[in-house]
Amino acid sequence: MSEAPRRLSYGSYLQVDRLLSCQEPESLKTGAPAHDEMLFIIVHQAYELWFRQILHELDRIQADFAARTVADEHLGRINAGLSRIHEILKLLVGQLDVLETMTPAGFLEFRDLLTPASGFQSVQFRLIEARLGLHDDARIRIDEQSMRERLAPEDRDKLSADTNPSLLSQLDAWLARTPFVALGDYSFRESYRAAVIAALQRDATSISADPALPEPQRQADAAAIEQALARFRALFEPDATTSTWRMSARAIEAALFISLYRDMPVLQLPFRLLQALMDIDESLTLWRLRHALMVERMIGVRPGTGGSSGSGYLKATAEKHRIFIDLFHLSTYLLGPRDLPALPDALRRRMGFSYGAA
Ligand code: HEM
């Protein structure tokens, strides 16, 4: 006789019993239960579940991006996946509000029991950073050690098992293949280069002629424009050792083109994609800052259980561990409609939606 098919229930489908057997407060084992440790565990576990979902989204986004030519119909779902990641990250920032209902004194009731465990060892968080494009060399070192050196061997292996290229490098390759940046006699590079340099030089002239500016401010503004000009020029001399761009010159050029002519129909989805990556970078940075502030509130300037300086280290990661920072820097070189070189008609037609008419 064949067995009756198992009837799915809410509990069996979601494995609720297993899930609810995963909270084991350390303080309970010492016989002095700390009430807030349950919250601490559940908040961290909820993070790990969301991290898993982010990695799941990245799996498909990166598989779509891995194609030699990214299919048009896949661009929409890449954008949808990136937006979903952004929404999850916003939720993760908000989740810290719940944890902050725990007082520093409440945390002290069990904090010592956690050593040497630390969020620093979250493999999924490290995978998200690496898959997005944070390179090991760009990371802040602690006590002269790299992030990997500080992980347990089994966690290090889990990280090394992921051989996916980063989303940043995939983005670079995709942008570098952007058509339309040069067509026939038209070269965006040539027409735009002169326009940006002229606009920045105009800014420099108006700063030096502004009588209302105090001298130290004038010098600082002039130096900032000089630096912006040097960064821009480095794009046209890709071998320049002074280049601080992370992406290739071709990719930056294409990202600029897309951002400037974003209203052209064929550029709308690519533009949304660039926006979504900036949203992700921004919300991840907000999480880093918010987490650093919460840590300061909980433990002041004490070092972390993972051996870092604590909130000081975490604040520095918000500045240094940016991933799509080049996209933000591009804004320095955007021009308003008055200065924007017009696109040739033939190119505009190629980038429009035209149905039927030859
Ligand atoms: C009372 C709450 C918390 C405190 C006091 C705290 C403290 C710290 C400290 C001091 C560090 C630096 C590494 C170290 O030396 O240990 C750290 C890193 C980290 N924590 Fe937390 N944390 C808290 C909550 C959370 C939560 C809820 C998460 C969510 C998963 C989390 C995830 C992380 C991650 C991913 C890192 C590594 C950051 C990096 O290296 O860029 N932490 N935490």
CB of 305 sitting under 6 A from ligand 1: yes
Average pLDDT for 48-75: 93
Query: Residue 229 — pLDDT band, cuts 50, 70, 90?
Result: confident
CB of 51 sitting under 6 A from ligand 1: no
pLDDT value at residue 145: 92
pLDDT value at residue 242: 55
Distances (CA, A) of 214 to 189, 201, 202, 207, 294: 36, 20, 19, 11, 38
CA distance 69 to 208: 48
CB of 148 sitting under 6 A from ligand 1: no
Query: Residue 358 — pLDDT band, cuts 50, 70, 90?
Result: very low
Task: Quote the ligand 1 centre to 239 CA distance (angstroms).
Answer: 39
H helix or E strand, kind and range, residue 283: helix 268-299
Evaluate if residue 233 carries a pLDDT over 80: yes
Percent of the chain at pLDDT exceeding 90 = 68
Q: Where are the domains of the chain?
A: 33-350
- Respond yes or no on whether the N-terminal peptide bond of residue 116 is cis (omega within 30° of 0): yes
Query: Residue 2 — pLDDT band, cuts 50, 70, 90?
Result: low
Residue type (1 letter), 332: T
Please tell me the residue having the least CA distance from ligand 1 atom 23: 295
Ligand 1 pocket: which of 295, 299, 301 to mutate (most atoms <8 Å of CB)? Answer: 295
Query: What is the overall mean pLDDT for the chain?
Result: 91
CB of 285 sitting under 6 A from ligand 1: no
Question: pLDDT digit string (tens) for 20-39?
Answer: 999 999 999 999 999 999 99
Average pLDDT for 199-223: 89
The HSE-up count of residue 141 (CA atoms within 13 Å, CB side) is 6
Question: pLDDT digit string (tens) for 146-161?
Answer: 999 999 999 999 999 9
CB of 119 sitting under 6 A from ligand 1: yes
- The winner for highest mean pLDDT among 71-75, 116-120, 181-185 is 116-120
Sign of CA dihedral 156, 157, 162, 163: positive
Question: Partners of 182 in the beta sheet?
Answer: 187
Q: Which comes out higher in pLDDT, residue 241 or 344? A: 344
Please tell me the residue having the least CA distance from ligand 1 atom 25: 119
Asked if the 33-350 domain carries CATH number 1.20.58.480, the reply is: yes
